[in-house]
Amino acid sequence: MQTRRTMLAGFAVSALAVSARAETPALYWPVITNHPDWNVISAQPSCVRLRCFGASRPVSRLENPSRHHVGVDLFAHAGDAVIAIEDGVAAGFYPFLRARTGEMSYALLIAHAGYVANYGEVRAPARVSVGDAVTAGQRIAIVSDTAQLHFETYAPGVARNRSWPHGAPQPAGVIDPTPRLRDLAQRGARVLP
């Protein structure tokens, strides 16, 4: 197993790079990609390309936004594999966002220990069905034509993603995924393409 030192939103972190045959660690980075910005985690106040939690949406109407971004968008390429960051159970799969190409992307919710993660903007069909157990590092989906993985986290029991209207307080059950992603970038394994 080799260790790579990288810069992440101003923080130096180590990410373990592993082949698909390596021994299974407890945590994984959620997307298998060779995108040069694979480890950029946009965070306030220096939100990179407005991909961070709490950013105004839609981007086309920043002067009059209608909602806040509930997740963090991770750079990837269309067709990249999405993997479970840790063990869990598939809890939901439904239409999420239409890409500029016209392709419909989907939300894939996985109930992990203590939280639910939305691996959003993935293609149908998912590689798992609702109710299936998933293991850390298991391929669960493919990145859609949005060319990013939209990652959200929620309190246990949440079965659908939540919207956060502009001017309203953060909805109950919505958890900022930024700290979890920073932890994954530091302690999780990165599976290389």
Q: Is 160 helix (H, G, I), strand (E, B) or coil?
A: coil
Contact present, 85 and 136 (Cβ < 8 Å) = yes
pTM: 0.82
- Each residue's pLDDT tens digit, 103-148: 999 999 999 999 999 999 999 999 999 999 999 999 999 999 999 9
Average pLDDT over residues 11-32: 60
CA separation, residue 155 to residues 95, 108, 116 (Å): 21, 15, 6
What residues have CB less than 8 Å from 10, skipping those under 6 apart?
46
Domain edges within the chain = 31-180
Bridge-partner residues for 14, per DSSP?
5
pLDDT on residue 12: 30
- Each residue's pLDDT tens digit, 36-95: 999 888 765 666 556 778 777 666 666 667 877 789 999 999 999 999 999 999 999 999
Checking phi first, is residue 59 left (phi over 0); if not, alpha (psi -120 to 50) or beta?
alpha
The CATH number assigned to the domain with range 31-180 reads 2.70.70.10
List the Cα angle 116/90/83 in 5-degree steps. Answer: 85
